Amino acid sequence: MRSFLDAKNIAKTLQASLAERKVEVSHSESLELVAKQFEFRDWNTMSAKIKAETSTDGIDFARTCPLMRIFDEEKAKEFYVDFLGFTLDWEHRFGDNFPLYCQVSRGGLYLHLTGHSGDATPGNTIWVLMRGIRDYHKELHAKQYKHMKPGIEEAPWGLEMTVIDPFNNHIRFCEQ
């Protein structure tokens, strides 16, 4: 999965794909289109964000992907997919009668759910910086999930909403 850090390559691919369909756009137009797709106001705003997220020492980190320990696959899918609205991206097992290892994602947040005992400890807390926390709060409450009714709290650093999965893992969403 590409991110906004790959914007120039995405713009080149878009421009080439459109050209194959006899639609001509300039490189700068394709950059503006890509910026809009990643919900930036324009290419200059996105470019500044790319520069801010790119290190000067040549070491860059593309994505953080916390591991969340699970014990019941159906409960995990009910919570992460049905309730939180994540997409199940892929599943892996080393063979028959092996635990599930999978990835779920939503809006740039990627989590690995694992049934393997050595991968993670239940009871973790992860902190997620986000936008749209009030809308997400409304969405979650509208689902009438009987096991979780999260609230929003005002903290000195922003609004926070914590959800706790069936395995006692905490996700603390924060909008600053």
129: CB partners within 8 A, 6+ apart: 174, 175, 176
Same domain, 91 and 128: yes
Give the tens place of pLDDT for each residue, 145-174: 999 999 999 999 999 999 999 999 999 999
Give the tens place of pLDDT for each residue, 103-154: 999 998 999 999 999 899 989 999 999 999 999 999 999 999 999 999 999 9
Q: Would you say how long the chain is, in residues?
A: 176
Residue 130 to residue 108: CA distance in whole angstroms: 9
Q: Pick the closest to residue 167 from 82, 98, 67, 97 (CA basis).
A: 67
> Which domain covers residue 72, as residue numbers?
67-175
Number of domains in the chain: 2
Same domain, 151 and 79: yes
**Residue 26 three-state SS:** coil
**Residue 45 three-state SS:** helix
Same domain, 97 and 150: yes
Same domain, 80 and 150: yes
